[in-house]
Every structure is written in C-alpha cells, then in structure tokens.
Structure 1
C-alpha cells in the first residue's frame, strides 16, 4: 500500500521528497490517498489539504479517548499521542475507556517504519515499476476507503452518515471541480460524528 502511495503521488505530480515528507509527518494513509486522488483529478492543493484535515478529524476524538491512558502533562501526552493511528488505537483499546500505551507504541512503531519505507521504495522505484493503473493498483483507492467505511458501520446512525456521505460525494463530485465531492462527504461525516457524541 505504501509503495502504491509513493508511485501514485509522483504520478499525480507530487515531488518525491514531498511524498516522503507527507508519509513522515502526516502518517495517515486515508488522508494521504485522498489528497493524491484530489490532485490526480486536477484539484487544488488547498482542496487536498482540507480533505486530508477533515479525514483526520477523527483523531481528535481518538486522542480525547486515549489521553487519560497516556503519561505526564499535556506536552508529554501530546507527544505520546503522535503514535495514534487507526490500527494502533484499536489494538491498544482494552474497553471501558482503558488503553495500553505500550501496545500503542509497539504496534505503531513498525507501521510507521513500513509506511515510510514503502513510500521511499515507491518514490525511488516508481520510474521502473509499472504505473499503478497498469497493475490494477488504482483499485486500492476505492477498496481502501470501502474497507474503512465497512469498519465504521456498527450502528444505524453510522450507516445513515455513510450513505449520506456517499450520496453527497457522488452528486457533488459530478457537478463540482475535482476534490469538492470528497470535501463535502468529509463534512457530512464530521457533522454526523459531532451529532453522535
């Protein structure tokens, strides 16, 4: 997946060093793939950044949930919270608001190394590897987002938000410039998350 991101980012016109920096500092596959998809469709950098920020808004709620399980004052907890990604947060969850911080760090560290390393391989080998579309790797984008969506469909409310977001993305995506459909769907999901709390 990370190799595909590196190749796709360059194909979308993102310089190799910028793609590697994005993996190093953003470290959020869904947001990075969304940004690349928007740029590949001719969308603006502002739309790509906004879509990535909206997609990563879920980390605010995840951070609030895991915060009490982290150690130290605000600064230390903020630094420890940088290890939170979807998989590490889920693996560290012990239920009833408890999280194992060692599991958080132990599961996030290898993910970070492989994500960053895979991006580097994709960027460096992208010129000699076939374009993702020629391998069917372009199907990773919709499959990746579908997998994220299915993982969230645990309640009727979540299903309603997902269907609403998909409908908005489809309708707005057909009528508006590239990237606006994803932004609109992200806004629907964010509103749904706020109302569910």
Structure 2
C-alpha cells in the first residue's frame, strides 16, 4: 500500500475537515457578515454535513473567532521580520511583501477583519484590546529604535503602521475595484511583483529609510 492510498487517520480527517470548514467560513463571513452567515451556508460551502460543523465548532461565534484569529496570526507571522531585521529597509520591506502576499492569498479573511472592525468589533473587541495592543506597542518600539539609530526619519510609528495596514490590505478589501481598474482581470504575477516594489519604494523613500551596512 502506497502512502497516497493509505487510509487517512482520524487526525488527518480532522485536520482536513477543519481546513475545509475554515476556508468556507472565511468566504461566507466575508460575503454575508457575521449576522447574515449561517452554519448551514458554511456547511454547504464546505461540502460537509451541518452536524460536522457543530462537532468542530459548537457555535457560529466560536467559528467566527477562529477565522478572525487565523488571519490575525498570519499578520503576526508576517511581522516576525521586525525583531530580527537590522533596519527599516529590510524589516519594513519584508513586512510589506508578506502583508501583500496575504492579501493576495486570503482576501476574504482580510474582508472579515475589516467588516468586524468597521462595526466596532462586537465579537472580537477583547482581542483588539489585548493581543493587538501588545503587538502594536512592540512594533512601535522597534521603529523607535531604528529612528534613534538614524536609520529612518523621525515619523510617528503608530501612523506609519496605520499606513502600512491600509495600503497592503487595500489589495484585499478593495480587490474588486482593483480588478475593475485592471480591465476586469485579477492582477497577474508580474503585476503583483510590480505592486510590491512600488509600495515598498514609495513608503521606504517617504520615511527616509537607509539600508543597513553590508545589506
């Protein structure tokens, strides 16, 4: 029996079902919002019985929080480069690349987050007040260090982060508008690469970012 024909273990089945559910939930929540989404709609999108959803996620809120947490964890991983980067060119450049790639691969997740926040975060306010606050303070400290080391202009770190989020997530949240302006077609690989380089060039030049020695 080959590896490909070997029966799936319970753990494999669980992992695959959770993946299908989360992918479907991300799309349904993005299109219908928390109020308009139903477990039945998500089950139909995932191609699974509704009972399976309730087995893995007892309530719609628990599933919604998992979807929101997943996109935020992706954004946190994208910022891992901050702590180890020698300066803003390397750190912010890699962060922009990673955030725009997330917008490309998970546009629905970004839309779920945006919708939740625009409605004053009725489900995840506790998450914003803890995890997001701590993460933001940590990244601002890194930016302040780069400023103190003379590697970039003395800009307000908080507003720099807001600009980075707005710019990179625009490609997900307003993807339809971008496609319309692109002749009704999604951006190609070449266009995505050009977009990343353009965004990095504008932002890094705008904050006077200096390459680290030897970079």
TM-score by length of 1: 0.29
Point out which structure has higher relative CO (alpha carbons under 8 A, 6+ apart). Answer: 1
TM-score by length of 2: 0.27
